[in-house]
Chains A and B, each alone.
Chain A
Amino acid sequence: MAMKDKDLERKTADKEKPDVGEYKQNQPAKTAVVEEAPPRPVPSVPPSGPAERRFRQTDLPAHFIERRKHPRINTEQPPAPAPPCFEDYAPIIGKPELDEIRFLARHLRGKTVKMVNSTAVGGGVAEILNRLIPLMSELEIPTRWDVITGGNDFYEVTKGFHNALHGGEFNLTRQIKDIFMSYNEQNRQRMEFTEDLFVIHDPQPVGLIRSKSEKRGRWIWRCHIDLSNPHQGVWDFLKPMVEQYDAAIFSAPAFTRQLSIPQYLFYPCIDPLSEKNKELSDSQIQQVCDDFGIDRSRPIVTQVSRFDRLKDPVGVIEAYKLVKKYVDCQLVLAGGGATDDPEGAVVLQEVMDAAGDDPDVIILNLPPWSALEINALQRASNVIVQKSLKEGFGLTVTEGLWKQKPVVAGAVGGIPTQIIHKLTGVLVHSVEGCAYQIRYLLTHPEFAAQLGRNGREHAKENFLITVNLKRWLLLFQILLGMAKPNTTV
């Protein structure tokens, strides 16, 4: 489902800019080439909350009931705030840490980097690059961002590859291989490869590696997807190209394959200064709660995720019902994807059916520009839940950790990397386990607070964009032979 959303956004965006690669290359090359992201496609149906629900008789004040039936949802995309400067991170990570990053960058000054991916908007990769590249540029490492182009046939193939690399069925024919390679070749011919370092993101542009033999530089393949159980044929086709790179980067050890090249671990990251993660005043949090009819005088349990069965929103409602027998709490299920995705709409209906007439289950179908609202909801919560049945890395968990909240999450995908059971959060494997842990945390606030403190430190050390930036600088130095890693042994 994620791909459906992403593909929809990409195809819409591509219509607006027929040749992304070309217009990228026309940018001045001195500093980073960062495109202003085109406005997100507005869904044909304005995003809104679910259709009006009927609630059973309740003691809740009328204004809560009114907002729960008709939440005040921002239907217009607010203008994007200016990206932060490197120095803005000092209060968050401390000056010494900032100085260490500066030192690493100083040695790379003047080295040039090219990043290539398959989409300028939508999806986590573009989101990270939009933040990372300006920071590299500010540190005087000119970084260019190019986006490959292709016809519908290419995107059909890459979408099929994506699903196949996640273990799905796929009929890999000669024709499919030819389509993939010919678009890679077209992009390769169009682009120039004069930089010192090339970072190619995900499988779509992997074939650009054919330029390696002709040009200088070090080549890195950044794989953002889980390759633990790939379709063998597709992987056998891609692997010889991957192994021509100088290094590969994965988001979790479990996502890797055996490769002949060095493999590094770069966790995905969040930006603590983004709309979704920046500090908010209490009045801002209160405003959002007022808009959605959330009562801050009673405990709030929140799951933020698309309306997708793999996120198990119905399981979360079942867990809430078990908790509710003991603790008078509210459940907030906030997500998107139900307006422009037919499957999302079906899941949303299932969620509403499961919630029934309970007014304390607050269901919010939010538009994609609701980062500030999501931020406020997470900050207003007493417990954050991410009861996924299958997960990539799970950045909503990271967001909860960063906000110093106790997080209860399914032990799948990259979540166990983030949650050290009972130390930085709680891992669960069932509805009953989820219910018990929520109940325990709501009734043991000191333990919940300790998890929150540890979780924030864990996120600060591992999952912030500044840590990601530092990892890139280290890798660049190592691959360029500027730093000889001392393994300390």
Chain B
Amino acid sequence: MATAPQLPPTRSRWARAPFYFNSGAHLLRIGREKANNLQELLEAIRTCSETSIFQHTFQTLEEHHFIREGFSNDFSHWAFSSCNEVGLAERLAALDVREFTSIAALRERLAGIIETYLEKNPRAATRQAMEPFYLMASDLVVVPTPYVARNLEEFADGLRKVSIHVIYYHFIDARLRLKLNNNDFSVWLEKELDLGQAADRLNQIDIYTSTLDGVRRSILKIIEAEINRN
């Protein structure tokens, strides 16, 4: 009986448009606001620039990308380490930046958490912190990389080679750029390769309990599974 000829494995299909890997380089600007206690922090959060809110919630995930433990944003870390207000620190840490598609909404939520806490703990409002909180902001310059993906293999290859700043730029920073509850990688997979399920799985990766290298590994695992499936 004749057997079917062995065909070479087919490459995944080509994307309708390529994915260009970019990186973001940040320069830290020192803001004018500084808080010596929680009341001052609340006022600073209400009045500071949007870039400052972004810096202390999103950008800190990149700056401390190698840490899995601890609190997830600078406000919660300060409430814990300098104000010794563990309850507030936990509430602030529970805030997931992925749920927000605008800084205004994120600012509102941060202020709301602190306000509620201070209503219940009024003495905490003016208690002097061990270290002041300095509000910062960052200027971002987009830096192209040589990596371009036209199919899943090239996409996986690019993911393996780029710096973690690229992962941050497309996977976390993108959420505010897109004003969507999404990231650049998932958008490309769904829009250019019709891989909606893989896109969804990517979007569910926990950025808080992983390092950015861990996030990279999780993304690769999903992409490699998709390559093998095809």
Contacts and interface: CB of A to CB of B under 8 A. Distances in A.
Interface of A: 94, 96-97, 99-100, 103-104, 250, 253-254, 256, 258, 262-265, 411, 416, 420-424, 453-454, 457-458, 461-462, 470-471, 474-475, 477-478, 483, 485-489
Contacts of B176: 488-489
B163 A100 contact: yes
A264 B30 contact: yes
Contact of B144 (A103, A253, A264): A103
Given A100-B25, A104-B25, A420-B70, A265 B163 contact: no
B223 to A, nearest CB: 18
Interface string B126-159: 0000111010111111111110000000000000
Contacts of A453: 66
B29 A483 contact: no
B32 interface: yes
A483 B141 contact: yes
B51 interface: yes
B54 A488 contact: yes
Interface in B155-196: 161-163, 165-166, 173, 176-177
Contacts of A424: 67
A474 B27 contact: yes
Contacts of A103: 143-145
Interface string B78-92: 000100000000000
26 contacts: A96-B23, A96-B145, A96-B162, A96-B163, A100-B165, A103-B145, A104-B143, A253-B34, A264-B28, A265-B28, A265-B136, A416-B131, A421-B81, A423-B64, A461-B63, A471-B27, A474-B25, A478-B27, A478-B141, A485-B27, A485-B141, A487-B54, A487-B138, A487-B140, A488-B140, A489-B50
Contact of B66 (A421, A461, A474, A478): A461
A453 B132 CA distance: 27
Given A253-B134, A420-B64, A474-B141, A488 B177 contact: yes
Nearest to B144: A103
Q: B25, B32, B51, B67: which has the most chain A beta carbons within 10 Å?
A: B25
Interface of B: 23-30, 32, 34, 50-51, 54, 58, 63-67, 69-70, 77, 81, 103, 130-132, 134, 136-146, 161-163, 165-166, 173, 176-177
A458 B146 CA distance: 26
Given A96-B145, A487-B51, A488-B177, A462 B30 contact: no
B169 to A, nearest CB: 9
Given A489-B54, A489-B176, 20 more contacts: A96-B23, A100-B143, A104-B143, A250-B30, A254-B132, A264-B29, A420-B67, A421-B81, A423-B67, A423-B69, A423-B70, A457-B66, A461-B63, A470-B25, A474-B26, A474-B141, A478-B139, A478-B141, A485-B27, A487-B50
Nearest to A461: B63
B30 A265 contact: yes
Contacts of A454: 66-67
A421 B69 CA distance: 12
B29 A263 contact: yes
A262 B27 CA distance: 12
Of B69, B130, B141, most A-chain CB atoms within 10 Å: B141
Contact of A253 (B136, B146, B161, B173): B136
A489 B103 contact: yes
B47 to A, nearest CB: 16
B148 to A, nearest CB: 14
A292 B103 CA distance: 57
Contacts of B146: 99
B203 to A, nearest CB: 19
A457 B70 CA distance: 16
Contacts of A104: 25, 141, 143
A485 B139 CA distance: 5
Contacts of A254: 132, 134
Most buried by B among A99, A256, A458: A99
A454 B211 CA distance: 11
Given A485-B139, A488-B177, A489-B103, A458 B28 contact: no
Contacts of B28: 264-265
B35 to A, nearest CB: 12
Contacts of A461: 63, 65-66
Given A104-B25, A487-B139, A258 B32 contact: yes
Contacts of B58: 488
Nearest to A93: B163
A95 B67 CA distance: 23
A103 B173 CA distance: 21
